[in-house]
Amino acid sequence: MINFNLTAWSLNHKQFIYFLVFVFFLSGIFAYRNLGRMEDPNFTIKQMVISVAWPGATARQMEEQVTDKIEKKLQDLPGIDYLKSYSTPGQTVIYVNLNEQVSPKEIRARWLEARNMVNDIRSALPAGVLDPNFNDRFDEVYGVVYTLTGDGYTYEEMREKSEKIRRILLGIPSVRKVQLLGVQTEQIYIEIENSKLARLGIDPSIITAALQEQNAMVAAGMLETASDNVHLRISGMFENLEDVQTTPIQVGGRTFQLGDIAVVTRAYAEPADPKMFYNGQPAIGISLAMEPGGNILTLGKNLDTALSQIKQELPAGLEINQTVNQPKVVESSIDEFVKSLAEAIVIVLIVSFASLGFRSGVVVALTVPLVIAITFTLMYLTGIDLQRISLGALIIALGLLVDDAIIAIEMMIVKLEQGWSRFDAACYAYKATAFPMLTGTLVTCAGFIPIAFSKGSASEFCITLFWVVFFALVVSWMAAVTVTPLLGYLLLKIKPTQQTVKTHAHPNLYDTSFYRHFKRILLWCMYHRKTVLAVTAAAFIGSIALLGLVKQEFFPASSRPEVIVQLKLQEGASVINTEKVALQFADKLDGDPNISYYTYHVGEGAPRFVLSFEPTFHKSNFAEFIIVAKDVQARNELAQKTEQLLNTEFTDVQGHVKILFNGPAADYPVMLRVKGPDHERIRQIAEQVRTIMAAHPATQNVNLNWNEKSKVMHLEVDQAKARALGLSSQDLAASLQVQLSGASIAEFRERDKTVGMVFRFSEEDRNSPEHIKDLNIHIGNGKYVPLDQIATIRYDAEEGLIYRRNLLPMIIVQAELNPSSILTGTDVTTQVYDELQELRSSLPAGYSIEFDGTTEESMKSGKFLAEPIPAMMLIITILLMMQLQSIPKMLLTLLTAPLGIIGVAVSLLLTGSPMGFVVQLGILALSGIIMRNSIILTDQIEQHLATGESLWDAIIDSTILRFRPIMLTASAAILAMIPLVFSAFWGPMAVAIGGGLLGATLLTLLVLPVMYATWYKAQPDATTKNNSLNDAKKSIPQ
């Protein structure tokens, strides 16, 4: 097997190779048509949300009695990374985050364990705490959203139609979940004046009991006859609003109808449920999530068909519009990348035709689609979809997969020009280059190992980059030693040179003006080794310093057209007030030529319509706009306009404008976290941090995620007097709850709906602070007493919101970037953090200032990315030793890998491209690409030495011989990056690889021979030295 020649076997089994090529082309076409389509690759959001309610509790009581107890228990959850929570009056929301070492396959088991742990301490929570709600599907993406609007239609009428549409959409293949947004809960309100109840001496419990008894669903028995079972049904349950109004109420021997003493109305819940608006109109949203692994484009076509039928059946006045169209975004994104892929193919083929000639170029050109077809097949078999990362990986691989074909065909050409037969030339190409090419291919793949085997969401986002490149390069090697020689055998028609024909000697094919000039440069470097090595080392050290000047950015901004505007009112603001402000902001957007359409949500955020977007849960003081611009330029102009609008006309609102980012993102670009045990102390520290952050010229809109307190009314009860009247604090609280907010007393059943019946006092009694003292409190037996006779009212402020992280109170100091700044969020965050050195060193024990947001994620991802590097280096070292069989040669090859940093630093600085996670991946991969060329050159030197050449001549001749294939393969890889340069996501990586490879290739051809000659002390003998000096006379100083 050692002497087995795969190329010879392929040439002797042509029909079998033809058959395989045909099969792989067919499988590639099938795979491409059936590959899943997505905008971005899936990555697991290892986060679960637990919400718990305790009606009547303050935010501090929620923190101490509920949040703290649950968090302490969850600290024992295996794989926990950190806990984050916020507590508000009567509500706490806890985010459980698993660390990156937890496998996605284990996530569901961890969430089940978390549920069990919380349920285990259910009995330890205070009385009155409601059952926890668990959301372990926090990462569901609703990639399709429709809005239903109707002029003159009520929310309920729109809901009924939306529910019918929801059921239709659920029947479409690949649809996993459909939920409605902006639905307003209906209630039947029984309202009575407080003074009327007191005047008539009616106990509220009598009204409650009468309604409950009248509408109770109780079995009335069944008759079992000889032939049938006959059930008894009793009439009297409420069937309409009139039945409720005519309910008899007996008090003190008198009978009233409920409608005589109370107003019975059917209305929407108060406070209102979260609302959704489309272009300023009230709307019901219909959001749809796809099954994992589904084809979003096929789903889009099916949805379009269903929607056209739905529109035909809509009543006049109702309109349905699509506000989130991920199928269209994915189609556009894939079309753009396919176009870039086609451009890269054309560029690579031009390089091949221009450098190798027409017939040789055809051989390489035919190899490319075959390799791509097989790669598509492997992607289909391994479940890799067509998305941003896999398509970008194909383009990167394209510049590399032609390397082996070019090297193989170039070696065949050389031997054919020397007079060899086509069969012998093809077999020699395998013998001379196959295993160095294989080692080079595997070393290149090994450069991508950190992407595949590092932890973290960023690596998970980019993991398909490794597998696609691995598939493409390994397949390209297989094609280069089987299909390429076969095509060369069939197509190449090269005549031996005249010198070969006459003398039967090998011609000097490299005795041209260009090669003589290159030889002069090479010889100069060989004679000035110390200078060359010193300059190279200085350039490398300088490039490391230059990298410190490159901007830092975790992931770049997306090219999606959405502008997200968040409005946050003062803590404790009502939904009514929030809706009013949102409407005012919406009025300012109407008529803007840059806007296609917009939606906004009041009381909560938009659903997760793309994986990198994090939704905001119920908050009465929060509104979120999703404004869809006409293009990216319009988006940027719109973002600036909305920022100016917020700063000038909405100064009382904490506004925030942002755009979507590729990959994991954060709320603000600049974020620092202040933690400590005492609320007031961390407030003071956070204010100091805010002052320093606001002083940075690149920041604007510096704010804290919680700070101000909420308004509250304290009732100081005279307990002695209250007890004398037979009234406890619990009785008083219950009475006030009924009067002010209402109490659910019964249910009204209507078809498939259950409408709650709420008893409360009239509006003038419950929504006016100045009338609170005049409320009449029932003390039993139909008697009432004014509130101010038993309690004193005092106005105060209390914590309305408390954030925690890992059981400690936490405040995030956050800021937007000034549009005029050229710095990135990571740059500014790092600079502000450094400016806080004095404050950080003076903090008491238990207090800290830490990175948050994308800066923290970037540092984590960088750490995770570094972990597999030792394994990568070990694998590369083993591969090099297997090929080179020499420790010094292996070390020399490894030393060429860092040379790429020189070109990377220069290219990033010249283009202004940031250093991000994807660029870091590119730098690691670049090292493998560089070493691939070094392996080929080193192996060529060994081949020359084996023929009896001196070491000096072997180094020079091998470098000249490998100059053309190395430059060709490098040119193909560099030029294939051009279509990616203009991509927001791939552009910086393309610049880094292109610039790094260009510089490293030139240095490899000059510096590696110098290092080789220096290590092995190569010197020309007397004859060779004279010839060399004559050749280099013009370039070597005398």
Question: From the CB of residue 788, how many other CB atoms can be counted at a distance below 10 Å?
Answer: 13
Read off the DSSP letter of residue 386. Answer: B
Distances (CA, A) of 586 to 272, 589, 646: 19, 5, 12
Phi, psi of 260, rounded to the nearest 5 degrees: -75, -30
For the cut 50, the answer to whether the pLDDT of residue 478 exceeds it is yes
Q: What is the pLDDT of residue 2?
A: 55
Domain membership of residue 790 (yes or no) is yes
DSSP string, 507-543: --TT-SHHHHHHHHHHHHHHHTHHHHHHHHHHHHHHH
Write out pLDDT tens, residues 703-732.
998 887 888 888 888 888 888 888 888 878
DSSP string, 618-650: --TTEEEEEEEESSHHHHHHHHHHHHHHHHHH-
Contact 852, 666 (CB under 8 A): yes
Contact 567, 649 (CB under 8 A): no
CATH number where 201 lies:
3.30.2090.10
Tell me: do 518 and 403 sit in the same domain. Answer: no
d(CA 843, CA 1010): 55
Torsional sign, CA 488, 489, 495, 500: positive
Contact 764, 739 (CB under 8 A): no
Tell me: do 484 and 528 sit in the same domain. Answer: no
Write out pLDDT tens, residues 751-776.
778 888 888 887 776 667 777 777 77
Tell me: do 993 and 925 sit in the same domain. Answer: yes
Phi, psi of 252, rounded to the nearest 5 degrees: 55, 40
Tell me: do 924 and 876 sit in the same domain. Answer: yes
Which range (136-140, 184-188, 1020-1024) has the least confidence? Answer: 1020-1024
As a whole number, mean pLDDT of residues 651-676 equals: 88
The separation between CA 884 and the C-alpha centre of its own chain, rounded to angstroms, equals 42
Give the pair of three-digit tokens for residue 467: 């597998």
Question: From the CB of residue 534, how many other CB atoms can be counted at a distance below 10 Å?
Answer: 11
Element housing 369 (H / E): helix 358-382
In 252-402, DSSP assigns E strands to: 254-257, 263-268, 275-278, 281-290, 318-325
SS3 breakdown of the chain: % helix, strand, coil, rounded to 5? 55, 20, 25
- On the CB side of 488, CA atoms within 13 Å amount to 37
Dihedral (Cα; 230, 236, 238, 240), 10-degree rounding: 100
For the cut 90, the answer to whether the pLDDT of residue 829 exceeds it is yes
Q: What is the pLDDT of residue 497?
A: 58
Bridge partners, 774 (sequence order) = none
Residue predicted with more confidence, 1025 or 318 = 318
Distances (CA, A) of 256 to 239, 334, 744: 20, 71, 21
With a pLDDT cut of 90, the percent of the chain lying above it is: 35
Q: What is the pLDDT of residue 866?
A: 85
Number of domains in the chain: 4
Grouping H, G, I as helix, E, B as strand and the rest as coil, residue 444 is helix
Tell me: do 876 and 1010 sit in the same domain. Answer: yes
d(CA 991, CA 996): 8
Dihedral (Cα; 783, 788, 790, 791), 10-degree rounding: 140
As a whole number, mean pLDDT of residues 968-977 equals: 83
Residue predicted with more confidence, 452 or 602 = 602
| Total length of the chain | 1038
Contact 334, 395 (CB under 8 A): no
Domain membership of residue 146 (yes or no) is no
As a whole number, mean pLDDT of residues 597-603 equals: 94
Confidence of residue 508 (pLDDT cuts 50, 70, 90): low
* Highest-scoring range by mean pLDDT, 619-623, 761-765, 926-930, 976-980: 619-623
Write out pLDDT tens, residues 681-696.
999 999 999 999 999 9
Tell me: do 411 and 482 sit in the same domain. Answer: yes
For the cut 70, the answer to whether the pLDDT of residue 1028 exceeds it is no
CATH number where 875 lies:
1.20.1640.10
Tell me: do 26 and 51 sit in the same domain. Answer: no
Grouping H, G, I as helix, E, B as strand and the rest as coil, residue 327 is helix
Tell me: do 224 and 90 sit in the same domain. Answer: no
Lookup result for tokens 């509250």: 712
Domain membership of residue 877 (yes or no) is yes
Write out pLDDT tens, residues 386-423.
888 888 888 888 777 787 888 888 788 878 877 888 89
As a whole number, mean pLDDT of residues 528-552 equals: 90
Confidence of residue 1037 (pLDDT cuts 50, 70, 90): very low
Tell me: do 85 and 217 sit in the same domain. Answer: no
Read off the DSSP letter of residue 227. Answer: S
Confidence of residue 1029 (pLDDT cuts 50, 70, 90): very low
d(CA 604, CA 620): 7
As a whole number, mean pLDDT of residues 335-353 equals: 80
For the cut 60, the answer to whether the pLDDT of residue 500 exceeds it is no
Tell me: do 869 and 781 sit in the same domain. Answer: no
Grouping H, G, I as helix, E, B as strand and the rest as coil, residue 660 is coil
d(CA 63, CA 800): 11
Contact 467, 889 (CB under 8 A): no
Residue 325's region, left for phi above 0, alpha for psi from -120 to 50, else beta, is: beta
Burial 206-219 (b: 16+ CB within 10 A, else e): ebbebbeebbeeee
Domain membership of residue 832 (yes or no) is no
Determine the longest span between alpha carbons in the chain, in angstroms: 135
Confidence of residue 656 (pLDDT cuts 50, 70, 90): very high
d(CA 484, CA 26): 19
Which range (88-102, 409-423, 503-517, 963-977) has the least confidence? Answer: 503-517
Contact 96, 50 (CB under 8 A): yes
d(CA 890, CA 879): 9
Domain membership of residue 155 (yes or no) is no
Distances (CA, A) of 630 to 328, 560, 592, 662: 14, 10, 11, 19
CATH number where 51 lies:
3.30.70.1430
Torsional sign, CA 54, 57, 61, 65: negative
Distances (CA, A) of 425 to 330, 417, 509, 887, 936: 47, 10, 16, 32, 18
Comparing CA positions, the residue from 501, 496, 349 lying closest to residue 975 is 349
Range of the domain at 793: 187-260+710-799
Domain membership of residue 532 (yes or no) is yes
* Highest-scoring range by mean pLDDT, 497-501, 827-831, 896-900: 827-831
Q: Cis omega before residue 271 (within 30°)?
A: yes
For the cut 90, the answer to whether the pLDDT of residue 323 exceeds it is yes
Q: What is the pLDDT of residue 40?
A: 76
Domain membership of residue 294 (yes or no) is no
741 contacts: CB under 8 Å, gap ≥ 6: 760, 766
Q: What is the pLDDT of residue 1033?
A: 40
Tell me: do 52 and 28 sit in the same domain. Answer: no
Give the pair of three-digit tokens for residue 581: 């402000």
Residue predicted with more confidence, 88 or 494 = 88
As a whole number, mean pLDDT of residues 990-1004 equals: 89
As a whole number, mean pLDDT of residues 544-549 equals: 87
The separation between CA 412 and the C-alpha centre of its own chain, rounded to angstroms, equals 47
Tell me: do 519 and 486 sit in the same domain. Answer: no
Dihedral (Cα; 414, 420, 421, 426), 10-degree rounding: -40
Write out pLDDT tens, residues 176-215.
999 999 999 999 988 888 777 777 777 778 888 888 888 8
What integer best gives the mean pLDDT of the chain? 86
Contact 601, 297 (CB under 8 A): no
For the cut 60, the answer to whether the pLDDT of residue 1026 exceeds it is no
In 64-221, DSSP assigns E strands to: 80-88, 91-98, 133-135, 144-150, 175-181, 186-192
Helix axis angle for 422-446 and 869-884, nearest 10°, is 160
d(CA 1038, CA 1035): 9
Q: What is the pLDDT of residue 702?
A: 93
- On the CB side of 124, CA atoms within 13 Å amount to 15
* Highest-scoring range by mean pLDDT, 309-323, 715-729, 771-785, 927-941: 309-323
Phi, psi of 386, rounded to the nearest 5 degrees: -80, 115
Element housing 717 (H / E): strand 709-717
Burial class (CB in 10 A: 0-12, 13-18, 19+), 450: buried
For the cut 80, the answer to whether the pLDDT of residue 665 exceeds it is no
Q: Measured in Å, how far apart are the chain's first and last C-alpha atoms? A: 54
Bridge partners, 811 (sequence order) = 674
Q: Alpha-carbon Rg of the chain, whole angstroms?
A: 37
d(CA 584, CA 43): 38
